[in-house]
Amino acid sequence: MAQYMFLLFDSEEFYDNLTAEAWQDTMKLHTAFGEAVEAAGASILGGAALEKSSTASTVKQQPGGAPLVTDGPFIETKEALGGFYLIECQDLDQALALAKLCPSGNIEVRPVMDTSGESAPPA
């Protein structure tokens, strides 16, 4: 089985006027997604919702110098990384099929690199 990271990007405006009912409705959608993953014979190995990007800090490595720490995300975008899932499934085709079921505006699907061997990753 292969592992894929699903990076969930959405507009953060959703949180500006979030009601308890809207939050519960959103959580129900994610619960249904988890059930669909399991029904497909895949597994969610991990995942979490992230706080708004305004709470982020960025550490930028400076060649030959001390790391630079700044407030906020590294880039300005209309959509922000709002959460993630780590999914174990058969292959990329299954990962993409599952991503289509995920209740998020934009899902970046990326294979997890196998770092258990001593050879360099494929170019």
Which pLDDT tens digit goes with each residue over 8-42? 999 888 888 889 999 999 999 999 999 999 999 99
Q: Residues 57, 60, 64, CA angle at the centre, nearest 5°?
A: 150
Do 43 and 120 meet the contact criterion of CB atoms below 8 Å apart?
no
Q: Could you identify the residue written with the tokens 């699907």?
A: 109
Dist CA 77 CA 87 (whole Å): 26
pTM for this prediction: 0.84
Dist CA 27 CA 23 (whole Å): 6
* CATH class (in words) of the domain with range 2-50+75-111: alpha beta
Please report, rounded to a whole number, the percentage of residues in the chain having pLDDT higher than 70.
Answer: 91
Region 56-70: what's the mean pLDDT? Answer: 87
Q: Give the total residue count for the chain.
A: 123
In this model, does residue 93 exceed pLDDT 90? yes
- The pLDDT value given to residue 75: 64
Confidence of residue 68 (pLDDT cuts 50, 70, 90): confident
- Sorted by where each begins, the domain ranges of the chain are 2-50+75-111
Q: Which of 14-18, 49-53, 107-111 has the highest mean pLDDT?
A: 107-111
In this model, does residue 97 exceed pLDDT 90? yes
